[in-house]
Amino acid sequence: MPAEIRLFKCLSDNYGVLIHDSASGATAAIDAPEAAPVEAALRAAGWTLTDILVTHHHADHTGGIRALKDKHKCRVVAPAAEAARIPAVDQTVGEGDKVSVGRLAAHVLETPGHTLGHIAYWFHREEIVFVGDTLFSIGCGRVIEGTPEMMWDSLCKLRDLPEATKIYCGHEYTLANIKFAQTVEPDNKALAARAVQAKQQIEAGGFTIPVTIGEEKNENPFLHADIPEVAAGIGMAGKSAAQVFAEIRARKNRF
Ligand code: ZN
Ligand code: FE
């Protein structure tokens, strides 16, 4: 029985998401931007919150933890390196650790860059990865605490997951990301097709995620910093992938 997922909006542009194991009844929230939309999603599905899996310490990912913990007495799992900055943590995890949600199991991947302790949760049997603010559809998070090299390595780690893996990220930024991406890769046909699709999804009141690792590999310029043609296209021929990534990220910050 595959995992069931509920995806919903929180705050202004954050995503909330629940993953549910129907065999055991366990339900985890990935991050908790705010409590009310999580409660509403739980009620609508008829599920009880058993776990919160936190990707990083930023307030727009942790603001709902305290209220949810008080009400549901759920377990809060958080990156070891950021536990001191996250409320009500019960269990800390790092690279190579496994986290179970009922009979579902996630591998913890450390993906530093946006923050130094940022982690992703990869449910490999379900082919789902929760990436927080490391990877966005057609974009990536700002490099706030780490270095571009670190962020590039983290993105490569996610890029190496099986192509069918479905990505759930922390924010709905896809249309703005596409606008920028097309300045880096104006001739990318897969990206152009995604632009049409994403616009339709948003206009219909829907979401642009999940997307797969395979799709992002074709369409996301932040995952293309090691492609010589992309480097040459932005005047960075011969530079290292990390340097090319840093330049693309810097351009996005100014865009
Ligand atoms: Zn963040
Ligand atoms: Fe965020």
The ligand placed nearest to the CA atom of residue 134 is 1
* d(CA 187, ligand 2 centre) in Å: 30
Residue 1 has pLDDT above 80, yes or no: no
Average pLDDT over residues 211-235: 98
Q: Is 72 a catalytic residue?
A: no
pLDDT of residue 69: 98
Cα(237) to ligand 1 centroid in Å equals 31
For residue 10, which ligand has an atom nearest its CA? 2
Phi, psi of 72 (to 5 degrees): -105, -10
The average confidence (pLDDT) of the chain is: 98
For residue range 29-69, list pLDDT tens digits in order.
999 999 999 999 999 999 999 999 999 999 999 999 999 99
Look at 1-5, 71-75, 178-182 and tell me which has the smallest mean pLDDT.
1-5
What pLDDT was estimated at residue 242? Answer: 98
Annotation marks residue 118 as catalytic: no
CA-only gyration radius of the chain, Å: 18
Q: What is the average per-residue pLDDT within 10-33? A: 98
Ligand 1 centre to CA of 141 (Å) is 7
Decide: 123 and 94 in contact? Cβ < 8 Å. no
Top CATH class, 4-254? alpha beta
Active site residue 56: yes
Other Cβ atoms closer than 10 A to 196 = 10
Active site residue 114: yes
**Span from the CA of 111 to the centroid of ligand 1 (angstroms):** 12
- What separation in angstroms does the CA of 190 have from each of 74, 90, 178, 221? 42, 43, 11, 11
List the alpha helices (DSSP H) in the chain. 35-45, 59-62, 65-72, 148-159, 174-184, 189-203, 213-219, 228-233, 241-254
CA of 63 to the centre of ligand 1 (A): 12
Q: Write down the pLDDT at residue 93.
A: 98
Per the annotation, the verdict on 58 as an active-site residue is yes
What pLDDT, on the 0 to 100 scale, is given for residue 2? Answer: 79
Decide if 133 is catalytic. yes
**pTM exceeds 0.95, yes or no:** yes
172 C-alpha vs ligand 1 centroid, how far in Å?
Answer: 13
Nearest to 142, CA basis, from 62, 16, 255:
255
Residue 90 token pair: 């019960």
Question: Does 243 have pLDDT greater than 80?
Answer: yes
- pLDDT, tens digit (0-9, with 9 covering 90-100), for 104-152: 999 999 999 999 999 999 999 999 999 999 999 999 999 999 999 999 9
Among candidate residues 51, 60, 118, 153, the one labeled active-site is 60
